[in-house]
Amino acid sequence: MNTTTDISVIIPIYNEEHNIDELYKRLKAALNEVTQQYELIFVNDGSADHSLQKLITLTQQDQRVFYINLSRNFGHQVAVSAGLDYCKSKTTVIIDADLQDPPELIPKLYAEHSKGFDVVYAKRISRDGETFMKKATSKLFYRILQKITSFDIPLDVGDFRLLDKKVVEALREMPEQNKFLRGQIAWLGFKQTFVEFKREPRKYGESGYSYGKMFSLAFDAVTGFSDKPLLLVSRLGFLISLVSFFVILFAIFSHFVLKETITGWTSLIISSMFIGGIQLLSIGVIGEYISRISTNVKNRPLYVISDSNIEKENK
């Protein structure tokens, strides 16, 4: 395969054995509407089921199918990043494997690219089959994120999108270990547009995004793109010092002028617990930044490949 391919599709796979066949069929049908020149890159992110065997079978049947088998579960964002390092086409589509992102939308994404857009993301106008908690937390999170970052991260958008080659190359140059691709792509700029779609429920299997993974993605997003939490912490410290200064003044005033000494175990405990809580919270916020500095300083490889049937460009 050479650089004349039109579309690379990157599909991260974590325990998706029951989705792979239908996904492959639908991807093939959708891509054939646009071009014969495409490649499918499946990144197996440490699946514990038979996903890998299924993928290898596909690669044996179809020359346009490639697989990258990571040495363990590195997480969705890293799996996609691995695919981005290997894709070779003029445009690249990132799509979930669970058929929540309909492959049939790809021709529409590609059509927008032909109009001159470098990033075409798929914007969900509805999300069926997802829990209220998931929708509510993600809605709240993206609104907060938009407030605290200095560039626009589009709302109601996942990683389902089409990227021009120059965007992919720019992404490869971004060195952060804590990937938050939606934010990185928004940060990069370029000519962006969107196509709307209805998000379907996951076809088979379970979501690989536990609340733990969602939280760490959220922290990666915030620490990667905003220093506001740090500012907030120092301002909070300043505010509390200011308040306590007035409380001290009042206590002195009360003791010497009103001749009433403020006593009480309750006020003491409440105030020290309050301060203790704020301090721990602040240290925690700083800790989130420091832990990411430490990860980045170690400069380990982002992922490790166990085996694959694909090679990088210019090799």
CA distance 9 to 41: 6
Q: How far is the CB of 42 from ligand UDP (least distance, A)?
A: 10
Residue 208, contacted partner among Mg ion, ligand UDP, none, CB below 5-8 A by kind = ligand UDP
CA distance 178 to 225: 11
The candidate with the shortest Cα–Cα distance to 97, out of 44, 29, 50, is: 44
Torsion of CA 219, 222, 225, 226, to 10 degrees: -140
Residue 14, contacted partner among ligand UDP, Mg ion, none, CB below 5-8 A by kind = ligand UDP
Nearest CB to ligand UDP, comparing residues 93 and 285: 93
Residue 27, contacted partner among ligand UDP, Mg ion, none, CB below 5-8 A by kind = none
Nearest CB to ligand UDP, comparing residues 183 and 208: 208
Residue 45, contacted partner among ligand UDP, Mg ion, none, CB below 5-8 A by kind = ligand UDP
Q: Note whether 77 and 217 are within 8 A (CB).
A: yes
The candidate with the shortest Cα–Cα distance to 103, out of 117, 129, 122, 80, is: 122
Judged by the rule CB under 5 A, the positions of this chain that interact with Mg ion are 98, 100, 202
Q: How far is the CB of 137 from ligand UDP (least distance, A)?
A: 11
Judged by the rule CB under 6 A, the positions of this chain that interact with ligand UDP are 12-14, 16, 45, 73, 75-76, 79, 96-98, 100, 202, 207-209
Cα–Cα–Cα angle for 11, 217, 289, nearest 5°?
A: 135
Nearest CB to ligand UDP, comparing residues 104 and 227: 104
The candidate with the shortest Cα–Cα distance to 189, out of 276, 119, 137, 133, is: 119
Beta-bridge partner residues of 91: 7, 164
Residue 76, contacted partner among Mg ion, ligand UDP, none, CB below 5-8 A by kind = ligand UDP
Q: How far is the CB of 182 from ligand UDP (least distance, A)?
A: 12
Q: Note whether 92 and 168 are within 8 A (CB).
A: yes
Nearest CB to ligand UDP, comparing residues 79 and 222: 79
Q: What are phi and psi of 272, to 5 degrees?
A: -70, -35
Q: Note whether 246 and 208 are within 8 A (CB).
A: no
Token pair for 134: 């998931």
Nearest CB to Mg ion, comparing residues 157 and 278: 157
Q: How far is the CB of 207 from ligand UDP (least distance, A)?
A: 3
CA distance 264 to 174: 56
Nearest CB to ligand UDP, comparing residues 75 and 103: 75
Q: How far is the CB of 273 from ligand UDP (least distance, A)?
A: 37
Q: How far is the CB of 98 from Mg ion (least distance, A)?
A: 4
Q: How far is the CB of 205 from Mg ion (least distance, A)?
A: 9
Nearest CB to ligand UDP, comparing residues 79 and 186: 79
CA distance 136 to 77: 22
